[in-house]
Amino acid sequence: MIRAESNLYTVMDAGETLRCRPRGRLRRLGQKVLVGDEVRFTVTAHGEGAIEEVLPRRNQLTRPPVTNVDQAVVVLSGREPEASLLTVDRLLVQALHEGLEVLLCLNKIDLLARGEEERWLGPYRAAGFPSCATSATTGAGLECMQAALRGRVSVFAGESGVGKSTLLNALVPALSLRTGRVSPKTGRGRHTTRHVELVPVAPDGLVADTPGLHAVGTPDIAPAELGSFWPELAALAAGCRFRGCLHREEPGCRVKEALAVGALDRGRYQRYLTLLQEVEQAYRRY
Ligand SMILES: Nc1nc2c(ncn2[C@@H]2O[C@H](COP(=O)(O)OP(=O)(O)OP(=O)(O)O)[C@@H](O)[C@H]2O)c(=O)[nH]1
Ligand SMILES: [Mg+2]
Ligand SMILES: [Zn+2]
């Protein structure tokens, strides 16, 4: 199910869409139909459909409210607005914690000087994250996005104003989502996206346009687990002297060794420490 308007649902099947209403039985069972749900339906009179059953969900996001999501596309821009990498890392942790694959998209590369793209994406590429560098306005890098979106359900995340809606409009020309202006005063965007809908992109791909996230809260993760969401730290953790090493002050820590020889990005590590401290504080409150 790709779109919900009050009690009318749009279901997509083999590339065709059908307007469906839920059977009263579903409502009586308190069974909600959510965007992203796989459903069993029958065709009724007047070319409408009836949703008979909602199939088991693989996952369910609350922001945006979409189910069965495969991938989070974390969008950032180097300028207008200049990305907060702490926000980017929070979003990555949140997405990985939800069990999603992630794709980083550096948008607005038309505003960047040569070499800046690598400065933004380099540490993430080194950590093993797939990435695209795009300009939604010039069309640069859109083939990279098309390839990454095919065959799966994706959600966009990222600060307001980074160009999520503009990117979607560029990827799906038939679409015309509302896009916002970046405030000249703050260099930040305003949240202009309100509804949630899955739109077809690339062969077999579906994408939700999400409200941009200004700030996401402290991840609900145990301190010793946090490192597992930093792929470049997780790859070294098995070699640390202590199991459950937090890679902070412990002796025999492979992460500290790698930092000392410049084999790890300091910024990523610092943001790990920042989130570790937050996670510890939240944890102590229990
Ligand atoms: N120069 C440049 N501007 C862009 C690019 N992509 C988007 N913009 C502009 O950035 C502004 C914000 O874009 P939106 O697509 O509304 O941003 P958003 O991420 O959807 O923002 P929210 O819906 O508020 O979360 C608009 O003025 C766009 O025209 C790009 O690649 N290059
Ligand atoms: Mg938007
Ligand atoms: Zn360690």
User: Looking at ligand 1, which residue's alpha carbon is closest to its atom 7?
Assistant: 163
Phi, psi of 179 (to 5 degrees): -115, 155
Q: Do 170 and 247 belong together in one domain?
A: no
Per the CB < 8 A criterion, the answer to whether 155 and 208 are in contact is yes
| List of residues 6+ apart from 152 with CB closer than 8 A | 70, 71, 101, 204, 205, 206
178 confidence band (pLDDT: 50, 70, 90): low
The answer to whether residues 19 and 46 touch, using CB atoms and an 8 Å cutoff, is: no
Residue 63, pLDDT score: 78
Q: What is the pLDDT of residue 193?
A: 40
Nearest-CA residue for ligand 1 atom 6 is: 163
Residues 40 and 82 both lie in one domain = no
Query: What is the amino acid identity at position 65?
Result: P
Query: Is residue 62 assigned to a domain?
Result: no
Q: Which range among 108-117, 186-195, 225-234, 259-268 shows the weakest confidence by mean pLDDT?
A: 186-195
Q: Is residue 61 part of a domain?
A: no
Predicted confidence at residue 61, as pLDDT, reads: 86
Q: In angstroms, what is the span from residue 163 Cα to ligand 1's centroid? A: 3
Whether the pLDDT of residue 192 is over 60: the answer is no
Give the pocket of ligand 1 (CB within 6 Å): 107-108, 110-111, 135-137, 158, 160-166, 179-182, 189-193, 212
What is residue 121's DSSP assignment?
H
CATH of the domain at 149: 3.40.50.300
- Domain CATH for 231: 1.10.40.50
Residues 185 and 232 in one domain: no
Specify the pLDDT at position 11: 96
- Number of domains present in the structure of the chain: 3
What's the rounded mean pLDDT across residues 83-107? 94
Give domain status of residue 66, yes or no: no
Q: Can you give the residue range of the structural domain that contains 13?
A: 3-54
Answer yes or no: do 17 and 107 share one domain: no
How confident is the model over 161-176, as pLDDT tens digits? 999 989 988 998 766 6
What mean pLDDT is predicted for residues 122-130? 97
State which of 175, 208, 241 marks the end of a domain. Answer: 208
State the pLDDT at residue 194: 47
Determine what percent of the chain is predicted with pLDDT higher than 90. 71
